Amino acid sequence: MLQWKDLYDDCLSCYKCDIGNKRNNMVFGDGNPKAKLMFIGEAPGADEDRIGVPFVGKAGQLLTKALIALNLNREKDYYICNICKCRPDNNRTPCEEEAKNCLPYLRNQVALVKPRIIVCLGATAMKYILGDQWKITRDRGKWIERKGFYITLTFHPSAILRDDSKKRLFWEDLKSVQRKYNEIC
């Protein structure tokens, strides 16, 4: 297992995929690296690629605000990162090869943070963390205990921006995360 600096440097010098050659910034992760709560999204969007920080665009702001309302703050309570560290062109879903090239970095991040709770944001995070058999609309809000982690899944915040009817369920899922956090962390 690499320590933070070596892991960061490895990501920075990674050009395994085409999107690595096209990025403006590698988007590593943000928040408290010792947090007991970890959120995992899909891949950086345009704002994240420009700034180099995950979840700072519209979807990220929505998530950050919702979590602040639940008294969960990025600097203190959680760490947040993505399946892929580089932005796929036109915000497409990362392809299997891109996700698989990047997963060892994520596994190393998880090993370093040692969270008790992992929240998968959206279908891509769900697929590569939990597997193909899960479905966001059917399984969101469920809790799975695996390898010592409590894992749950919910909509990606960009889905909430597109479809207002998902807002209530998203909020319920985040409240469930808050309850679990208060219970075990």
Nearer to ligand URA, 12 or 185 (CB): 12
To 10 degrees, the CA torsion angle through 102, 14, 110, 120?
A: -40
The three-class DSSP label of residue 106 is: helix
Nearer to ligand URA, 57 or 185 (CB): 57
The answer to whether 79 touches 35, Cβ cutoff 8 Å, is yes
78-82 vs 143-146, strand pairing mode: unpaired
CA distance readout (Å), 94 to 13, 76, 90, 127? 19, 29, 11, 12
| Residue nearest to ligand URA according to CB distances in the complex | 41
Residues of the shown chain interacting with ligand URA in the complex, contacts defined by CB under 6 A: 41-45, 48, 54-55, 57, 59-60, 82
Nearest distance in Å: CB 184, ligand URA: 25
Distance CA 144, CA 163 (A): 26
Nearer to ligand URA, 91 or 178 (CB): 91
Nearer to ligand URA, 59 or 129 (CB): 59
Nearest distance in Å: CB 45, ligand URA: 4
Nearest distance in Å: CB 183, ligand URA: 27
Nearer to ligand URA, 49 or 77 (CB): 49
CB atoms within 10 A of CB 86: 28
Distance CA 124, CA 170 (A): 17
